[in-house]
Amino acid sequence: MPTAGTASAVAGVIAMVLLTLSVVLGVGISRRPRRHRLPRAALWTAHQNVSLLAAGFLAVHIATAVAGRFAGVGLASALVPFAAGTGRAWMGLGAIAADLMIALIVTSLLRRRIGRRWWRAVHWLAYACWPAPLVHSAALSPDRRAGHLRDLALGCVLAVMLAAGWRLAGALRRPARSSAGSPAASAAAVNPAARS
């Protein structure tokens, strides 16, 4: 029977893989070629669902860490960065990632009320949200620095680096924005629901 520590570790690894997939899908939404066969709405839906699934596994990771008391993790140290005290800075990175993910979800739910500009500004935090749990995991668990879990982490790094490079290459090749590149046109292109 798995312990709370094992359940927390497994949930954390799954959340990291799903967060990686969410970042890659998010880049795919913003950078998808027009001739691509996969509709933007399908990418949007997949991105939303994978993001929420990642948040669910993150919640399980935090809940089992707090409930299990295997590492002396309290709820405050799980959600308030660096509240765990001295010598536990790596836990603070996990708390920062959780807080950023909460901000991303809340602003996405309030997107129509806060406007696209604020939503987009907060959404850029996804790039900061992604590496924090990777470092948190590697620093707190020596067993994740070797073998299959290390290979999985390297695969996550490679996937996000390739996606970010693809997005940067597209931004460098893109001509200056015309009236077709207005915020309203961009919102309609990124979010199919914004068209109506």
pTM of the shown model: 0.77
CA distance 128 to 185: 27
**Count of domains in the chain?**
1
Q: At a CB cut-off of 8 Å and minimum separation 6, what does 9 contact?
A: 141
Q: Is 25 exposed, middle or buried (0-12, 13-18, 19+ CB in 10 A)?
A: buried
Domain boundaries, position 99: 4-191
Residue 22 forms part of a structural domain:
yes
Residue 12 forms part of a structural domain:
yes
pLDDT, one tens digit per residue, over 162-189 is: 988 888 887 777 665 544 444 444 444 5
Q: Supply the DSSP string of 61-107, one letter for each residue.
A: HHHHHHHH-SS---HHHHHSTTTT-TT-HHHHHHHHHHHHHHHHHHH
pLDDT, one tens digit per residue, over 86-114 is: 557 778 888 888 888 888 888 888 888 99
Residue 28 forms part of a structural domain:
yes
Backbone φ, ψ for residue 3 (5° rounding): -85, 170
Query: pLDDT below 70 — which residues of the chain?
Result: 1-2, 4, 32-38, 69-72, 84-87, 143-145, 174-196
